[in-house]
């Protein structure tokens, strides 16, 4: 398996030294055997994604879950990690923009924790390399959990007797900020997901998907060109290229050129805390990956999200501006919103309404079966809004106005239909009876 871009950085965990921090926790023997994994997650992927020495032990996971759910980690005891990443909601909060202490709204949508351990980088703009780094920043962000500094966090945690006991048991020392992040990251590394109807279908159960859903999978790999950034295959079973793209989501509300010029003067490259605050608290949020790299071609670019469980993790996009998957398809169908930094792969798709319906149907098959009830509820809610389509522009999508290029060639599905092939497009015929 080829190591995804950025994973090398993710595997090199660098722990800072200073007040409230600690030396790396005592090394533990590498766990060569991963925990029981669902069909859509391979043991190889798990081993590549979990740094040696960071394997989630039961003790670390239990402590991490307690910390993840504890509102006392916030400055006023009102917000926990779970506030924006509710397990029963697919580890999201279901809101366009999340709210932190004192009901302050941030400027980004909360991505799911599910499968976050496989991300090459964390956050929409990739500003953190590891889950440990990611766990620290919301605690310190003034609009999220509002703690002023690591010292204050550690002092508060050391004042809670149960945590003094827990940290001594798990790490053999008093609570410190690094170990706190290690524990939360251990809990998050156990939130993998890959047992969807799609997984049963791709393993050979031809009846796992309906005819409409199979056609959606074919369109996903063909006319709709979703697989350009969201390829689903044995190497990339999570439906993300782990890269950053400007697809024009925020272009209608930002003058990117002016904003980028201002950003160059303000952003301090490498200052993780400043970048975190600019990402969530300021007008510069829409610069996306540019905040991290200060590279012009990253203006307005955000990370390609994992599509697993996409049916239950809306609203969609970095700013939560698209309510339904029909809205998402309408956005792509018209080629996004033109701007000087638009990704070169964005162009009109020319999808018909029945084709959009089939694509949405397919996307809902990527939700883990443990969320079946929620998935059905969300599909019903989104379908009820199907006639409310603020992103819809059929004339542009069909090439009757604008200039967003010709349509990509569409393969003859009678010759080679992705929905009739084996494991992630393996040409080995599936032995079960096909349902056409």
Domain check: are 184 and 240 in the same one? no
Instruction: Indicate whether 185 and 60 sit together in one domain.
Output: yes
What pLDDT, in 10s, does the model give residues 221-279?
999 999 999 998 777 789 999 999 999 998 878 888 999 999 999 999 989 899 999 99
Structure confidence at residue 434 as a pLDDT band (50, 70, 90): very low
Quote the mean pLDDT of the chain: 88
- Looking at residue 19, its pLDDT comes to 36
Question: Is 396 inside a domain boundary?
Answer: yes
In a domain, 35, yes or no: no
Averaged pLDDT, 123-129:
96
What is the rounded CA–CA span in Å between residue 133 and residue 367? 28
Percent above pLDDT 70 for the chain: 85
pLDDT tens-digit profile of 307-321? 999 999 999 999 999
Residue 289 included in any domain? no
Based on the residue annotation, tell me whether 144 is a catalytic residue of this protein: yes
User: Is there a single domain that holds both residue 117 and residue 223?
Assistant: no
**295: closest CA among 244, 367, 229, 234?**
244
Look at residues 190, 217, 233 and tell me which one is the last residue of a structural domain: 190
Residue 315, preceding bond cis, omega within 30 degrees?
Answer: yes
Looking at the domain assignment, is residue 235 inside a domain? yes
Domain contains 169 = yes
User: Per the domain annotation, does 95 fall within a domain?
Assistant: yes
Residue 423, pLDDT score: 58
Task: Quote the pLDDT of residue 34.
Answer: 87
> Which one is predicted more confidently, 136 or 17?
136
DSSP string, 254-300: --HHHHHHHHHHH--TT-HHHHHHHHHHSGGGGGBTHHHH--GGGTT
pLDDT of residue 422: 56
Burial annotation 305-334 (CB, 10 A radius, 16+ → b, else e): bbbbbbbbbbbbbbbbbbbbbbbbbbbbbb
Separation CA 6–CA 435 (nearest Å): 40
DSSP 74-126: STTS---HHHHSBGGGTSB-S-SS-B-GGG-B-SS-----TTGGG-SSBSTT-
* Domain shared by 51 and 176, yes or no: yes
User: Which residue range forms the structural domain that includes residue 402?
Assistant: 197-248+300-420
* 176 plus 203 within the same structural domain: no
Q: Are residues 206 and 176 in the same domain?
A: no
More confident residue, 407 or 40: 40
| pLDDT at residue 13, as a whole number | 28
Do 117 and 146 sit in the same domain of this protein?
yes
In a shared domain, residues 232 and 356 = yes
pLDDT at 177 > cutoff 90: yes
pLDDT at 331: 97
Q: What is the pLDDT of residues 187-220, one digit of tens each?
A: 999 999 999 999 999 989 999 999 999 999 999 9
Q: Which residues contact 23 (CB under 8 A, 6 or more apart)?
A: 15, 17, 178
Q: Answer yes or no: do 155 and 207 share one domain.
A: no
Tell whether 113 is covered by a domain: yes
Which tokens belong to 42? 């391979």
Q: Is the pLDDT of residue 12 over 70?
A: no
Whether 357 and 227 share a structural domain: yes
CB 223 within 8 A of CB 408: yes
Q: Assign 379 a pLDDT band (cuts: 50, 70, 90).
A: very high
Give a yes or no: residue 276 inside a domain. no
Question: Are residues 132 and 210 both part of a single domain?
Answer: no
**How many structural domains comprise the chain?**
2
pLDDT digits (tens, 9 = 90+) for 144-160: 999 999 999 999 999 99
Which residue among 55, 65, 132, 144 is the active-site one? 144
Please report, for the domain that includes residue 370, its CATH number.
1.10.760.10
Verify that 203 and 322 share a domain, yes or no: yes
Q: Which of 59-63, 129-133, 240-244, 405-409 has the lowest mean pLDDT?
A: 405-409
């Amino acid at each position: 398996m080829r190591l995804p871009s950025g994973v090398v950085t993710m595997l090199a965990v660098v722990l800072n030294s200073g007040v409230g921090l600690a030396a790396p926790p005592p090394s533990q023997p590498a766990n060569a055997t991963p925990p029981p994994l669902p069909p859509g997650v391979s043991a190889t992927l798990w081993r590549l994604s979990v740094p040696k020495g960071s394997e989630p032990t039961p003790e670390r996971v239990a402590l991490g879950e307690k910390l993840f759910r504890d509102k006392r980690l916030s400055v006023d005891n009102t917000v926990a990690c779970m506030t924006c990443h509710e397990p029963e909601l697919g580890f999201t909060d279901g809101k366009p923009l999340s709210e932190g202490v004192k009901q302050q709204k941030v400027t980004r949508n909360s991505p799911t924790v599910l499968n976050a351990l496989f991300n090459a980088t964390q956050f929409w703009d990739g500003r953190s390399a590891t889950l440990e780094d990611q766990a620290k920043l919301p605690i310190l962000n003034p609009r999220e959990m509002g703690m002023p500094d690591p010292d204050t966090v550690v002092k508060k945690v050391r004042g809670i007797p149960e945590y003094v006991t827990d940290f001594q048991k798990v790490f053999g020392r008093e609570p410190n900020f690094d170990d706190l992040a290690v524990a939360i990251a251990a809990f998050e590394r156990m939130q993998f997901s890959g047992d969807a109807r799609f997984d049963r279908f791709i393993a050979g159960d031809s009846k796992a998907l309906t005819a409409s859903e199979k056609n959606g999978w074919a369109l996903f790999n063909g006319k709709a060109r979703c697989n350009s950034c969201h390829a689903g295959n044995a190497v990339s079973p999570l439906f993300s290229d782990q890269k950053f793209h400007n697809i024009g989501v925020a272009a209608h509300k930002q003058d990117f050129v002016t904003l980028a010029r201002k950003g160059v003067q303000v952003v301090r490259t490498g200052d993780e805390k400043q970048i975190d605050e600019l990402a969530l608290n300021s007008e510069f949020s829409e610069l996306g990956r540019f905040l991290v790299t200060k590279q012009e071609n990253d203006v307005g670019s955000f990370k390609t999200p994992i599509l697993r469980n996409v049916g239950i993790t809306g609203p969609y996009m970095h700013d939560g501006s698209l309510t339904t998957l029909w809205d998402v398809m309408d956005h792509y169908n018209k080629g996004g919103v033109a701007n000087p930094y638009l990704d070169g792969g964005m162009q009109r798709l020319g999808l018909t309404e029945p084709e959009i319906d089939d694509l949405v149907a397919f996307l809902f098959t990527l939700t883990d079966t443990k969320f079946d009830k929620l998935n059905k509820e969300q599909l019903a809610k989104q379908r009820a809004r199907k006639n409310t389509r603020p992103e819809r522009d059929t004339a542009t999508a069909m090439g009757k106005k604008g200039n967003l290029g010709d349509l990509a060639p569409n393969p003859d599905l009678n010759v080679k239909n992705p929905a009739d092939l084996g494991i992630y497009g393996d040409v080995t015929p599936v032995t079960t009876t096909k349902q056409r």
